[in-house]
Amino acid sequence: MRYWSNLAVLATLALALAAPAVRAQDDDAPPPPPPTEDWSYRSPGPAKCVEVGNFYLHKKKFAAAVSRFQEAIQINSHYAPAYLGLGKTYEKMGLKQKALKSYRQYLDELPSDKEAEEAKEVQRAIARVEEEMGARPAAPTRR
């Protein structure tokens, strides 16, 4: 028994003597350099935002899809695919008025007639939404 008590005293003494040395080493260490990386959010650009928005739309995560499409519009307010995605998402959410506005903005922002087939699909979507709302169809807003 005396052996164990002597061993405990020695262990306590060793820790007490070693602690100031360890603390002294910590005080002498130079502070770490400040971080040089910029951790602020950088948007991936409108095309990638629309791609991610379409993914969320497909997964029926409508709030996330709206957020991505709106981010694309914030980056480039003339990026037509963002308005198309926003219109599709709002229509799925049952927000018919917002869907109509987004679809019409899409048609206004189309840079050329090469997306004519998709534009026809949007025209049909506008007619469908207006019919569901009980509104009379409006003339296309094509430039």
Total of domains in the chain:
1
On whether residue 106 sits in a domain, the answer given is yes
Tell me: the pLDDT tens digits for 68-116?
A: 999 999 999 999 999 999 999 999 999 999 999 999 999 888 866 666 6
Q: Any idea what the CATH number is for the domain that residue 74 is in?
A: 1.25.40.10
On whether residue 90 sits in a domain, the answer given is yes
On whether residue 138 sits in a domain, the answer given is no
On whether residue 12 sits in a domain, the answer given is no
On whether residue 92 sits in a domain, the answer given is yes
- Tell me: pLDDT of 138 over 60: no
Summary mean pLDDT of the chain:
81
| Structural domain span for residue 72 | 53-133
On whether residue 30 sits in a domain, the answer given is no
pLDDT of residue 70: 97
Long-range contacts of 73-81 (CB under 8 A, 24+ apart): 73/46, 75/43, 75/45, 75/46, 75/49, 76/46, 78/109, 79/46, 79/47, 79/50, 79/109, 80/106, 80/109, 80/110, 80/111, 80/115, 81/46, 81/47, 81/50, 81/106
Q: How confident is the model at residue 1 (pLDDT cuts 50, 70, 90)?
A: low
- Tell me: pLDDT of 17 over 80: no
On whether residue 44 sits in a domain, the answer given is no
- Tell me: pLDDT of 143 over 50: no
- Tell me: pLDDT of 127 over 70: yes
On whether residue 114 sits in a domain, the answer given is yes
Q: How confident is the model at residue 50 (pLDDT cuts 50, 70, 90)?
A: very high
